Structure 1
Amino acid sequence: MKKILLFLAVSLWCFSMPAYHGKLTFTQQDGSTFEGKLKGDEYFSWIEDRQGNIILFNNQSKTYEYAKLTKRHGISNLVPSGIKVFKNMGNKAPYKNNTISKKTLMRLWKSKREHTRYHH
């Protein structure tokens, strides 16, 4: 019985693994690179650069781009902005009027987790 409980506890822990929290180097399609940290888990993930800007991979352009917050049918979501990430962006914020707060990210993360749990 103890083995079964231990197996169940370990199994549940494995289902929701956080992203690697160390610094990683990401390579753009053109060979340029930038550093960032993975955030989130299997339900919702993103990359943050050292200035705290949110970055997503654009599957259409095959490049990493700064994220922007959109709202459709009352539902907020992060989407690629079309602004490619460069190594030496410095402290320039790609969106001065579209800063994505940690509180907003946590709300999106929670929403994605709940949506996945109840729809799969």
Structure 2
Amino acid sequence: MRHKLASALGATVMMGALITGGAATANAAQPEARSAAACSGYPYEKADESVKIRKSKKASATAVGLLPKGAKAKKLKCNVQYGGYFKGCDPNAGATWHHKWWYISYKGIKGYVPALCTTFSK
């Protein structure tokens, strides 16, 4: 019985991958679930130092505001967004962190801040 159930589950995952064009893995939803849980437990990002809020996910994008050091901004997307390279705040961080951005709202200003410059906050 378990084998038939596992086969049916595997076929369902494969069909979903074919329809969506994604990879066929049973664990594909887990990172999304972890991101959602992190957002519900930590819906804000706190600025480790003052950082510009950008119009898009790159350091050269137009600044639309400032997130001051110690200020909390509400996450508008629970998962981190990949974008342009940013080397400030923590130049010793792992290479992938230099491309991660949070989409936030601070005092009515919506935009992106580098993940290197913020910390999860409640």
TM-score by length of 1: 0.27
- Structure with more of its chain in strand, by fraction: 1
Bigger radius of gyration, 1 or 2? 2
The structure with higher relative contact order (CA 8 Å, sep 6+) is 2
* TM-score, normalising length: structure 2: 0.27
Between Structure 1 and Structure 2, the one with more helix by share is 2
